Structure 1
Amino acid sequence: MTSASHPTATNQSLPLGDWLAFGDALRADDSPEGLLGEVVETLRRIVGSPCVYARLRDDESDTLHAVAFAGVEPQLAEQLQAAPVEPAQYQSLLRPEYRLSYSYLVPAEALPAGVPDTAAIAPAAALLTPLRGRGERLIGVIVIAWPQPPDLATVRMVEAIARQAALAVENVRLAERSARLLAKEQLLAELGRAVGATLDLDTILRQTVDRLAAAFGGGLVALLNETNDLLVAAAAPSLADMVGQRLPLLDGTLAWVAQSGQPFVIDDCRIATREALLFGPDVASCVIAPLRSGGRVIGILSVVSRRAGAFNDEDVDLLEAIAAQVSGPIVSAQLYAESQRLAAQVQRRADQLAVLNSIARIVTATLDLRESLPLATERIQQGFGYPQVDLFLIEDDASELVLVASAGQYAPSRVGYRQHINLGLVGRAARSGRIVRAEDVASEADYLGLSERLDIRSELCVPLIANGKTLGVLNIESPQPAGLTAEDAAVLETVADMLAGAVENGRLYQRAQQAAALEERNRLARELHDSVSQQLFSMTLTAQAARAQFERNPARVPALLDRLQETATAALAEMRALIFQLRPPALRDQGLVAAIQQHAQHLAHREGLRIELNVIGDERHARGIEQPLFRIVQEALNNIVKHAAARNVQIQLELTAEQVRIRVIDDGQGFDPSARPSGEGRHLGLLSMRERAAELGGTFAVHSRPGAGAEIEVVVPLRGRNAGSEEGMGRRE
């Protein structure tokens, strides 16, 4: 049965505070009957049983006597007290099919009739949970009327309480034997409180060895690690040199204790030569007791003496009690430490992912490497806490590395520094295309240290590789020897991949920008040749004709001068139109809508087009990005003039707080967007608009088919855009 199908077990679980309070209550009682009275009351409340009682074993008669009751009528309790039970009476009930963990759930119909035990339990089933002391010796049994179906989780909780109760009972019995043992039991109780109040393993081990030293004069704690090696984790001052030492488990006493889970006493270590070598020549006798938890040995406790035969049975019992007292807290502390380690690892991974995400946002926010690479380098240095981070890029001729960004103690004084690719660890990473990690740069023959970085002790160089080509190197430096680990290399390899993609995209963008600028210059050259240049040539011819007629036929000169003036006026108008395309004054003085309107009117007048502009919303939403938006519209209209053969054009401009949407629609001849462009002009025009939209973080789409006109749609999101980034977008144009 799971806890989901039986919620009572979960609801009745004892929180840590109740466990501690319960333990304190057990330690506060000075008799076995009082202890078990607390136990049966607690179990009755947890399980929801109608009655619970406990029997203790009489060491002399070996019978089990009822000593504590919860929910049992007084008359029936008297009958139970008056009827001791022989251990053999339970044997017939302890069948394999009734076993749950190391308890037995006996059905009501299987209980013997006519005995007080059955009268107390029936008609419910009986859960028999043994009380076992050290060495798994049976000291009693807890009987619970179990009205519900089997629930292994609740049974194990009962067993845990039974184990604690059994230990408490034996501790009281030990305390009753002698005054000396009473003092040691007080020491045990203090240890229990000390180790039960903390989850720090070092504190638990220190408290344990301090008590061992106080009670026995010296001792140690050794724990099994993940590889099943027994390592000394803590020791009293007399054995302090053994801390961290590995104890042999292949054979001998330690192996027997670890395998059997039983204590072992060596009265004379001089005879047992292996143990004499283990503890040193000053140790004459010792006791080794196992630390057990969950049915397995997790380590050992050992106490030593310089006197042979120094330990008796009571000492062994006390050492076992200490082992039982600290085993649970040690396991809990180990589990807590492991959970903390895993939590720290998860947090570290989360922090790394957060830094990686922020780096990804930086390198994808802009294609301008001069802006993105310094920001990304600074984020790497601050996000991962590296002392110094440098980013080198390989020059186009692949002969030199140039420091383009730096962050940390020495940044940015050396930005622009050049280094030949054949020099240094950075050059080695660039040439090989592999990560170079130097735990001690002093041992690296090709280490090239800068004069102001004399304190650098370790270095990590991660190449930036895109499409199989090394573009640069991410260089991390630390003043600590071995300060950069393989984990750092793995994380920075991901960072280097991001940076390589950003560098590759940035360089492609720069080439596209250069191509677009070249195309724009070529277009202006054609415009100047087709219009202004032709008109200037006509003006030259007219002026020459006027000069010639001035002497021959002066009457014709005024007409020639009029023609010269008309041609100059037309050339001036053409020149102004070209200047307007480069930087329309209306965009600066009147805003985006006015600039588009003026440009459309001029183009319509010049080309004989009908251009309609529809604006929805407030153009103030586009503040800071007017220039690239205007260029997108301008390029769309230029494409229509050059390639569409259209008569009507619609420009739709929607401006909201969330986004800007631009649609330019024409009724021209259209084209197949998926086909290879037949002219470079159309190709570069579409590419230019797509890149401008991407630079703004927007989308670009073309809808067209042959004979059905074309539609250009650009959507630029505005939500979350800050004024600084908007202005930066505009300035990049």
Structure 2
Amino acid sequence: MTDSAHMAADSTHRTLPLGDLLAFGDALRADDTPESLLAEVVETLRRIVGSPAVYARLRDLDSDTLYAVAFAGVDAPLVERLRATPIGPAIYQPLLRPEYRQSSSYLIPAAVLPPDVPDTEAIIPASALLTPLRGRGDRLIGVIVLAWPDQPDLVTVRMVEAIARQAALAVENVRLAERSARLLAKEQLLAELGRAVGATLDLDTILHQTIDRLAAAFGSGLVALLDNQETLMVVAAAPPLDTLIGRQLPLLSGSLAWVVQSGQPFVVDDCRLHAPDMALFGPDIASCIIAPLRSGGRVIGMLSVVSRQAGVFSDEDVDLLEAIAAQVSGPVVSARLYAESQRLAAQVQRRADQLAVLNSIARIVTATLDLRESLPLATEQIQRGFGYPQVDLFLLEEEANELILVASAGRYAPERVGYRQHINLGLVGRAARSGRIVRAEDVAAEADYLGLSERLDIRSELCVPLISNGKTLGVLNIESPERAGLTEEDAAVLETVADMLAGAVENGRLYQRAQQAAALEERNRLARELHDSVSQQLFSMTLTAQAARSQFERNPARVPALLDRLHETATAALAEMRALIFQLRPPALRDQGLVAAIQQHAQHLAHREGLRIELNVIGDERHARGIEQPLFRIVQEALNNIVKHAAARNVHEFNADQVAIRVIDDGKGFDPAARPSGEGRHLGLLSMRERAAELGGSFNVHSRPGAGAEVEVVVPLRGRHGNLERPE
């Protein structure tokens, strides 16, 4: 040892006795991090040993690589080079030769140091003292490198080793404290996350709470869930992964597929080298962890965290991510089940509401056969019941090939009712021509869209054709100011509505034709009556007048008798004409009511035909209010048929549930099932049957030859809308 070395050793002994070494170790254990602690150690060693440069390396427990972390007397450019050049076992283990050993340290000549280590020429002029940092159980945790120009004495080396031992213990204590802090933070994070996600069934809240914890612990985070089609969809993410929200992740092969299939976590230290499929996270992502979300023995999704640095994630990070995944898997499943139950409940409620609206529409279209009354009411119910902004109903006029707006309800006043549009124009025309539903999510993209001038804000349209027996009767048109404001579900519901309206339109038109046919039949009947009675009497009057004129010249004495006969015939013809006029619209029916009209008609027939007619009324005739005319016609037709046969009794019954009419005669009777033998036979029965059917009632005839006949008509009162009124 040189004189200068002896002097340095003596100075060290004087300034740093053994007691101070122990106190120095205690002080080091209170530092914050291993890096800051070793920075103070290397600075102290450089000062007390007199080394030109000192630095420390810590061992990576996973790879056994030594990383430079603390420096004293080293220039800044060289510090960066040392930080960027880790030393692996293949480099430092061959240097630890027995001939270089000094106590537990090694004095390595500069000539044998590896040439690719930056400190070989820059800071090691003669030799380097490598002093190990050993913790409890003699476990190597790092090394201190001192540039040594001369051969050190053993006392100095052991002093450096003593400081290194104290520093190693302090580093371990700091690491233990850091690990304890990390464990405590982990427990706190998991506890807070458990409370947050366990207190709600809202999936979005659970996802946001999870992402917040991942971002706090790892600086990033992503949650992806498997849907019913086994598609992995990103549902929540924190920067730099937030651009992936809503994106479908590939599951055909690669790391994600392996995690989903195996249910095991996956760690990538360098995505660019070992997992090129992870480029989906972004080109600047270097490392990542993927942990599966498992519930009930199956994978329901995954969590992932990433970093732009390679190899930054440890086993502790993997354990933490798995613990977070285990913490949120159950709440995610519960939230999804709850959301599904809510969706099903809302669907059931929506179906119930739809059925209620459909029931209301059905009641409206079946309450009356008058389309002018039912179609506007039904259109208004569709608009209000389903909440559509605008509803229009068009009917097709085949002769003109035009669609006529017959009802409108919604945002726009129905002033345009009566508006005509050719079947070759617009989306409505397309639906009418094709007989298919037309749904336009954006009318601006439809070349044949024909918008009305006052409806410039319309964005979507749904046209549902009204079809009956394969024939298009009209179009139900729905409009909305929102793009894609009308869905396939709307189309399905409105298709049912359109079927109802088509049935109502068809029935209404059939009723109109039946009314026209009935009017024609009534005119034909009156023509027959005029021909059989009045016309014959008028013809007889003509013959009598001609006879009186001829007898006036030949035999004037016979003229008064002929004039008397002419007067009688004219009187009979007048009575017959009045009877026919009475049948068209009995004044008593309008002025006095149904019972009085029937009574008057019965008395007239009894007087004219010499019949005995008995009328019995049970109940209150106000129960028949609104249907007096067809009931009177049924009785009238029954009595007219009886007049041609024999005396009769007429029984009329009214009660709170129904109107019952029975007309019984004691005539010669007939076989109701027999085929009519003459033209016009049984037409009266057919007319009465049709009138009863129009009232929603029943018509029955009981008769057999030689045993008279009974006609029975029963018309229900309850459940009828708009036609009957209950008495007050």
Is this a same-fold pair by TM over 0.5?
yes
2:639 counterpart of 1:637: yes
The Cα shift of 1:516 comes to 1.4
Change (3 A) 1:701 1:429: farther
Query: Residues 188-231 of structure 1, C-alpha deviation per residue, up to 9 Å, x if partnerless?
Result: 22221221121111111011111111222221111112222221
Q: Match of 1:364?
A: 366
The Cα shift of 1:279 comes to 2.1
Match for residue 724 of structure 2 among 715, 726, 732: 726
The Cα shift of 1:559 comes to 6.4
Matches within 5 A, 1:705-724: 705-721=704-720, 724=722
CA distance in structure 2 between the aligned counterparts of 1:307 and 1:675, rounded to whole angstroms: 102
The one-letter amino acid paired with 2:322 is E
Question: 1:371 is paired with a residue of what secondary structure?
Answer: helix
**TM-score of the two chains, using structure 2 as the length reference:** 0.68
Match for residue 310 of structure 2 among 295, 308, 311: 308
2:485 counterpart of 1:487: no
Matches within 5 A, 1:546-565: 565=567
Mapped contact 1:539–1:567 kept (Cα < 8 A): yes
CA distance in structure 2 between the aligned counterparts of 1:262 and 1:246, rounded to whole angstroms: 21
Change (3 A) 1:380 1:301: same
Mapped contact 1:290–1:297 kept (Cα < 8 A): yes
Change (3 A) 1:277 1:657: same
Change (3 A) 1:425 1:523: same
CA distance in structure 2 between the aligned counterparts of 1:664 and 1:721, rounded to whole angstroms: 25
The Cα shift of 1:234 comes to 0.4
Matches within 5 A, 1:172-571: 178-274=180-276, 277-395=279-397, 397=399, 399-536=401-538, 565-571=567-573
Mapped contact 2:365–2:375 kept (Cα < 8 A): yes
Deviates further, 319-328 or 341-350: 341-350
Mapped contact 1:291–1:300 kept (Cα < 8 A): yes
CA distance in structure 2 between the aligned counterparts of 1:502 and 1:521, rounded to whole angstroms: 28
Change (3 A) 1:388 1:419: same
Query: In angstroms, what is the RMSD of aligned CA positions?
Result: 3.3
**TM-score of the two chains, using structure 1 as the length reference:** 0.68
Mapped contact 2:622–2:725 kept (Cα < 8 A): no
Mapped contact 1:458–1:479 kept (Cα < 8 A): yes
Change (3 A) 1:685 1:567: closer
Mapped contact 2:615–2:650 kept (Cα < 8 A): yes
Query: Residues 356-408 of structure 1, C-alpha deviation per residue, up to 9 Å, x if partnerless?
Result: 33323322222222222222222233333333333332335263332222333
Question: 1:482 is paired with a residue of what secondary structure?
Answer: coil
Matches within 5 A, 1:616-695: 616-641=618-643, 645-674=644-673, 677-678=676-677, 681-682=680-681, 684-695=683-694
Question: 1:228 is paired with a residue of what secondary structure?
Answer: coil
The Cα shift of 1:312 comes to 2.8
Mapped contact 2:466–2:476 kept (Cα < 8 A): yes
Larger Rg over CA atoms: 2
The Cα shift of 1:327 comes to 0.5
CA distance in structure 2 between the aligned counterparts of 1:292 and 1:565, rounded to whole angstroms: 111
Mapped contact 1:284–1:304 kept (Cα < 8 A): yes
The one-letter amino acid paired with 1:587 is L
Q: Match of 1:576?
A: 578
Question: 2:614 is paired with a residue of what secondary structure?
Answer: strand
The one-letter amino acid paired with 2:494 is L
Change (3 A) 1:685 1:274: farther
CA distance in structure 2 between the aligned counterparts of 1:410 and 1:220, rounded to whole angstroms: 48
CA distance in structure 2 between the aligned counterparts of 1:511 and 1:683, rounded to whole angstroms: 21
Deviates further, 669-678 or 444-453: 669-678
Question: 2:448 is paired with a residue of what secondary structure?
Answer: coil
CA distance in structure 2 between the aligned counterparts of 1:189 and 1:694, rounded to whole angstroms: 76
The Cα shift of 1:542 comes to 6.4
Change (3 A) 1:536 1:382: same
CA distance in structure 1 between the aligned counterparts of 2:570 and 2:628, rounded to whole angstroms: 33
CA distance in structure 2 between the aligned counterparts of 1:481 and 1:251, rounded to whole angstroms: 38
CA distance in structure 2 between the aligned counterparts of 1:320 and 1:385, rounded to whole angstroms: 48
The Cα shift of 1:608 comes to 3.7
Mapped contact 1:639–1:682 kept (Cα < 8 A): no
CA distance in structure 1 between the aligned counterparts of 2:373 and 2:682, rounded to whole angstroms: 28
Mapped contact 2:255–2:275 kept (Cα < 8 A): no
Question: 1:726 is paired with a residue of what secondary structure?
Answer: coil
CA distance in structure 2 between the aligned counterparts of 1:559 and 1:193, rounded to whole angstroms: 121
Unaligned 5+ residue runs, structure 1?
Answer: 1-173, 729-733
The Cα shift of 1:635 comes to 2.4
Q: Match of 2:612?
A: 610
CA distance in structure 2 between the aligned counterparts of 1:272 and 1:684, rounded to whole angstroms: 96
The one-letter amino acid paired with 1:576 is R
CA distance in structure 2 between the aligned counterparts of 1:495 and 1:677, rounded to whole angstroms: 43
Q: Match of 1:103?
A: none
Question: 2:241 is paired with a residue of what secondary structure?
Answer: helix
CA distance in structure 2 between the aligned counterparts of 1:434 and 1:453, rounded to whole angstroms: 24
Query: Residues 265-308 of structure 1, C-alpha deviation per residue, up to 9 Å, x if partnerless?
Result: 33333433426513224433322211110011111111223443
CA distance in structure 2 between the aligned counterparts of 1:322 and 1:635, rounded to whole angstroms: 89
CA distance in structure 2 between the aligned counterparts of 1:415 and 1:677, rounded to whole angstroms: 49
Change (3 A) 1:578 1:433: same
The one-letter amino acid paired with 1:489 is A
Mapped contact 2:717–2:724 kept (Cα < 8 A): no
Change (3 A) 1:470 1:503: same
The one-letter amino acid paired with 1:366 is T
Mapped contact 1:232–1:244 kept (Cα < 8 A): yes
Mapped contact 1:367–1:695 kept (Cα < 8 A): no
Deviates further, 393-402 or 221-230: 393-402
The one-letter amino acid paired with 2:489 is E
Change (3 A) 1:683 1:647: closer
Between Structure 1 and Structure 2, how many residues are aligned?
551
Question: 1:448 is paired with a residue of what secondary structure?
Answer: coil
Q: Match of 1:699?
A: 698
The Cα shift of 1:547 comes to 8.2
CA distance in structure 1 between the aligned counterparts of 2:562 and 2:481, rounded to whole angstroms: 84
Mapped contact 1:181–1:314 kept (Cα < 8 A): no
CA distance in structure 2 between the aligned counterparts of 1:704 and 1:365, rounded to whole angstroms: 34
CA distance in structure 2 between the aligned counterparts of 1:593 and 1:176, rounded to whole angstroms: 106
Question: 1:490 is paired with a residue of what secondary structure?
Answer: helix
The Cα shift of 1:585 comes to 2.6
CA distance in structure 2 between the aligned counterparts of 1:687 and 1:401, rounded to whole angstroms: 37
Question: 1:463 is paired with a residue of what secondary structure?
Answer: strand
Mapped contact 1:222–1:233 kept (Cα < 8 A): yes
The Cα shift of 1:553 comes to 9.2
CA distance in structure 2 between the aligned counterparts of 1:353 and 1:708, rounded to whole angstroms: 53
CA distance in structure 2 between the aligned counterparts of 1:267 and 1:552, rounded to whole angstroms: 144
Unaligned 5+ residue runs, structure 2?
Answer: 1-175
Query: Residues 226-268 of structure 1, C-alpha deviation per residue, up to 9 Å, x if partnerless?
Result: 2222211101243211111222223332222222222223333
